Amino acid sequence: MTDRKTIIAGNWKMNKLRAEAGELVEAVVQGIKGLPAESPEVIIFPPYTSLDVLAAATKGSKINFGAQNLDNHDSGAYTGEVSAKMLVDVGCKYVLIGHSERRQYYGETNQSVPLKVKAALDNGLVPVVCVGELLDERENELTDPVVKRQVGAALMGLTQEEIKKVVLAYEPVWAIGTGKVCESAEAARVIGLIRSSLKQFLEDKEIANQIPILYGGSMNAKNAEELLSKDEIDGGLIGGASLKADEFLTIIRAAAKRPRLAAKA
């Protein structure tokens, strides 16, 4: 059994108009009522246009919300970008950084990720930092060095206290939006590797055992319980399945069983 925080995070990507966002989050708010005390923390990452909708709809609930990206600058001539201060101003607690789609389509790199992580931390946001390998990297047995390199880059220059505040998410790029899922044993192995990599940056090695590491990559209502039964997997970063309240709630309920499942492992 683990005492790390269990987190189920929904990444809506570029989906849901404001009215749709309100309906969906309200269904989730109602759906988590009555769950046991050990229920996971629930986070939703909507598009920027619905951040204020989430702020209103989640008020007084157990749900937190965040943004899908940020710029590392506080302000200035950066057309189209949004700063950490702006996200805090609208009520965000979390922010995604380094998602594979940002890396693949918008030039996110191991050089830009640490700048964004530091900007988030400096402004009181919790960064959820994504790492993971491409299909050709996996096929060429490069998963481990690629993931270790991404973790090292993301934490570059951070203090021990700052690293303690980071959440990590392993998302094998080949399993995102494809319906393919990394086998639970392999997902747990890579997450274990990530935790071992963390210890290389920490004087207090025990901190590495406290940092939540999520699995992202086509987790859904059917496979969530199996994935979450692995002690190393501290929750999920959910894409498509977070766009339907019933599926997302099924995953949340599976995560609520995690302490008991881990105890049996």
Instruction: Catalogue all structural domains in the chain, each as residue range(s) with its CATH number.
Output: 7-264 (3.20.20.70)
- Euclidean distance between CA atoms 90 and 143, whole angstroms: 37
Q: What is the pLDDT of residue 178?
A: 73
258 vs 228: CA distance, rounded Å: 6
Parts of the chain with a pLDDT under 50: 1, 260-265
Predicted TM-score (pTM) of this structure: 0.94
pLDDT on residue 263: 37
Q: Is 73 a catalytic residue?
A: no
The catalytic residue among 99, 133, 232, 247 is 99
Is residue 184 within 8 Å of residue 229, measured between CB atoms? yes
Torsion of CA 187, 189, 190, 194, to 10 degrees: 130
171 classed as catalytic: yes
Contact status, residue 57 vs residue 29, Cβ threshold 8 Å: yes
Q: How many CB atoms lie within 10 A of CB 265?
A: 11
Cα distances (Å, whole numbers) of residue 221 to 106, 109, 235, 246, 255? 30, 32, 13, 9, 11
Residue 262: the pLDDT is 41
Give residue 2's pLDDT: 54
Six-digit token string for 86:
């702006």
Position 261 scores a pLDDT of 43
Over residues 52-83, the pLDDT tens digits come to 999 999 999 999 999 999 999 999 999 999 99
Letter for the amino acid at 231?
D
Give the model's pLDDT for residue 144. 95
Question: What is the predicted pLDDT for the residue at 39?
Answer: 83
Q: Outline where the chain has alpha helix (H).
A: 18-31, 51-57, 84-90, 100-105, 112-122, 135-139, 143-154, 160-163, 184-199, 224-228, 245-256, 258-264
How does pLDDT run across 247-264, given as a tens digit for each residue? Answer: 999 999 999 987 544 433
Contact 154, 98 (CB under 8 A): yes
Beta partners for residue 8, in sequence order: 42, 236
Catalytic residue among 41, 137, 171, 247: 171
pLDDT at 264: 34
Question: What is the rounded CA–CA span in Å between residue 169 and residue 102?
Answer: 14
